[in-house]
Structure 1
Amino acid sequence: MIATWIRKLLPALSMCFAAMSASAWPTQPVTLVVPYTPGTGIDIVARQLAARLPAALGQPVTVENLAGASGNIGSEKVARAKPDGHTLLVQVNTLVMNKSLFKTLSYDPVADFEPITLTSWGTLLLVANPNVQPAATVSDVVGAAKAKPGQLTYATPGVGTPHHLAMALLLQRTGTDMLHVPYKGTAGAVTDLLGGRIDFMFLPMHVALPQIQAGKLKAIAAGSPKRLSQLPDVPTLAEAKVPDNVDLWYGVLAPKGTPADIVNRINQEIGKILKHPEVAQAFASQGMVPETSTPGEFGALIARDAQRWAEVVKKGNITAE
């Protein structure tokens, strides 16, 4: 009878211990590592969280920007951090792209993290200089590229960036070819696109929208699953018979081995924050839409995305090194 009583008691004891573990966390300040410079979209996400998490956690929350190596410096720091929930990574989907782009990483961008939650989605728009003819639709672009293989140009902020892989995916899916012109950052690429020295580019919605509204760029397709409220007349890639989207996801991760109860607690607290209207407004300024997920859902998304971009990188023979 004693053994039966103990067996019945064990599940309750396990739940108690898990609750005690989560309630004891955090015991010190929490650091949100952003592997990019201040002012970027992912930095905006981190600072919105850092401003509101202390009220729920009872500890200070700071943002540490560790830019460099396409996000690998900051990401590696978190991968090597103690898995106790006090050092977290705020990242964009370049994390999974880097797994295929870099051949000599000292950490695994996918296996070395515990997914916590999505925070938001951002949209990339396929845009063209208005003088490119014909370029009103994706079909126009595909037809022009097939008529002049390798002669039309597209710009990116650099090799292996989301902008680059988005275009590589589009060209692979449509069997077309264009000349890739990589820049060191977005500003120079946009300047040449506006000046007519470049034909096409994928740009984040918040960067492209003012130029589209001013008539300086032509919107061809949205990389999102659904049409954008800001540009309701612009079709999605899927509507243009390209069976994919190239949205950017943003999310929070912890070092591998972080206890599940701590991961779930962080997930719940971030989920509450993402419901704030002020947060949605701050995200909108960067072309992002808040969205939460369970840790499992985020993990499944990461796995799917890692496979998809690995295929694009391999087929395009793309390397960031």
Structure 2
Amino acid sequence: MTTRRFTRRVLAALALSIAPLALHAAEPLRLVVGFAPGGGVDTLARVTAQALGQELNRTVIVENKSGAGGTIAADYVAKSQPDGNTVLFADTSLLVAPYIYPALRYDLQRDFVTAGMVGQSDLALAVPSNSPIKTVAELVESIRKAPPQTETFASVGVGSLHHLGGELFALKTQTELVHVPYRGGAPASQALAAGEVAMSFASLASSIGLANSGRIRLLATLSERRFPGMPDLPAVSETIPGYSVTPSLFLLAPKDVDPAFIQTLSAALQKSMGQKAVQDAFLAQGSVAAYQDPQATRQWLGDETARWAGVIKDAKLTFKQ
């Protein structure tokens, strides 16, 4: 065989081996979201998808598979082919989901690979605008003086981070609160404005409109630090040390995905979250774009899961489907 013929055969074989890879790379990356279009998580997923598409030079589409607190989407991604075409846009509610849906067929630690932290969404503690309470300290004092089982708080639903935020508040202050669940942030905030409940633990994004119109009063954010978009609003932790409720957003891929894909995706995510346009879009939604690498995100996942398990145990919470 001549050198020229050998070279042609090698090049032909190489072309055949590269062709499937080129086809794979051309396929869209699906960012699967466990909530309906138009909601807070979906909006942030679309901001992230657009930025990732630019960094990866690849089409990134958002695919909504809503229901059961995001567990339908998680189950779908866990069972997807680990081909680098499907990623879960996950949030902290999935850490609590096993206590609410004990029949889950996946495990976050076992069936997924972390690709990095996207950011955090801020929650807020609020009271009706006609309440005399102006600070977290005054609220705690008021609760302690009230008759047992009379101080109510609204949340977006049983088992939500908003609900657990109220339970953690009661544990940290050694007070009694009665949980009143609503179907979503808007109904919960409207109930607070109408005086149906004494306080609410709700997303900052769903509360800020009513606060600006003077119908409710924001007392504090629930995260450890003040929300950058509202630096004059204190954090609960400034009054109650150790208190922190920070719904986080992170990317997960099926467990057997190529490590090179995770490395590429994580690098693109880091650059995406550093874009000013992305940071501004997150702030507009009451959130903060804050990247963490896969290893740090996986450590956080374990620590945060254990922390909320402790809150559920200490508050003696049970969830009925």
User: What TM-score do the two structures reach when normalised by structure 2?
Assistant: 0.86
The offset of 1:128, in angstroms, is 0.6
Which residue is equivalent to 1:5? none
The offset of 1:211, in angstroms, is 2.3
Amino acid at match of 2:143: A
- Comparing 245-254 with 106-115, which one deviates more in the overlay? 106-115
The offset of 1:225, in angstroms, is 1.7
Q: In structure 1, how many angstroms separate the alpha carbons of the residues matched to 2:43 and 2:214?
A: 28
Superposed, 1:2-81 pairs within 5 Å as 26=25, 28-81=27-80
- Comparing 272-281 with 114-123, which one deviates more in the overlay? 272-281
Q: In structure 2, how many angstroms separate the alpha carbons of the residues matched to 1:263 and 1:279?
A: 21
Say whether residues 1:319 and 2:319 are aligned partners: yes
Q: Do the aligned partners of 1:127 and 1:219 also contact (CA within 8 Å) in 2?
A: yes
Which residue is equivalent to 1:17? none
Amino acid at match of 1:115: T
Q: In structure 2, how many angstroms separate the alpha carbons of the residues matched to 1:136 and 1:252?
A: 38
The offset of 1:58, in angstroms, is 4.6
Amino acid at match of 1:73: I
The offset of 1:56, in angstroms, is 4.2
The alpha-carbon distance between structure 1 residues 231 and 278, as it changes in their structure 2 partners (threshold 3 A), is closer
Superposed, 1:270-289 pairs within 5 Å as 270-289=269-288
Q: Percent identity?
A: 30
Can you list the C-alpha shifts for 1:99-130, whole angstroms capped at 9, x where unaligned?
A: 33322211113332111111111111110113
Q: In structure 1, how many angstroms separate the alpha carbons of the residues matched to 2:152 and 2:134?
A: 16
Superposed, 1:44-193 pairs within 5 Å as 44-133=43-132, 135-147=133-145, 148-193=147-192
Q: Do the aligned partners of 1:30 and 1:59 also contact (CA within 8 Å) in 2?
A: yes
Can you list the C-alpha shifts for 1:64-108, whole angstroms capped at 9, x where unaligned?
A: 100001111011100111222211000111111213332221111
User: What TM-score do the two structures reach when normalised by structure 1?
Assistant: 0.86
Superposed, 1:257-272 pairs within 5 Å as 257-272=256-271
Q: In structure 2, how many angstroms separate the alpha carbons of the residues matched to 1:55 and 1:238?
A: 38
Amino acid at match of 1:192: A
Amino acid at match of 1:77: Y
Q: In structure 2, how many angstroms separate the alpha carbons of the residues matched to 1:281 and 1:199?
A: 33
Secondary structure of 2:291's partner? coil
- Comparing 100-109 with 88-97, which one deviates more in the overlay? 100-109
Q: In structure 2, how many angstroms separate the alpha carbons of the residues matched to 1:190 and 1:252?
A: 29
Task: Calculate the aligned-residue CA RMSD, in Å.
Answer: 2.0
- Comparing 81-90 with 220-229, which one deviates more in the overlay? 220-229
Secondary structure of 1:198's partner? coil
Superposed, 1:215-226 pairs within 5 Å as 215-226=214-225
Amino acid at match of 2:60: V
Q: Do the aligned partners of 1:31 and 1:88 also contact (CA within 8 Å) in 2?
A: yes
Contiguous gaps of at least 5 residues in structure 2:
1-17
Secondary structure of 2:25's partner? coil
Q: Do the aligned partners of 1:123 and 1:247 also contact (CA within 8 Å) in 2?
A: yes
Which residue is equivalent to 2:11? none
- Comparing 118-127 with 100-109, which one deviates more in the overlay? 100-109
Secondary structure of 1:292's partner? strand
- Comparing 144-153 with 158-167, which one deviates more in the overlay? 144-153
The alpha-carbon distance between structure 1 residues 239 and 57, as it changes in their structure 2 partners (threshold 3 A), is closer
The offset of 1:131, in angstroms, is 2.7
The offset of 1:239, in angstroms, is 1.1
Q: In structure 2, how many angstroms separate the alpha carbons of the residues matched to 1:102 and 1:83?
A: 25
The alpha-carbon distance between structure 1 residues 50 and 219, as it changes in their structure 2 partners (threshold 3 A), is closer
The offset of 1:287, in angstroms, is 0.8
Q: In structure 1, how many angstroms separate the alpha carbons of the residues matched to 2:98 and 2:200?
A: 24
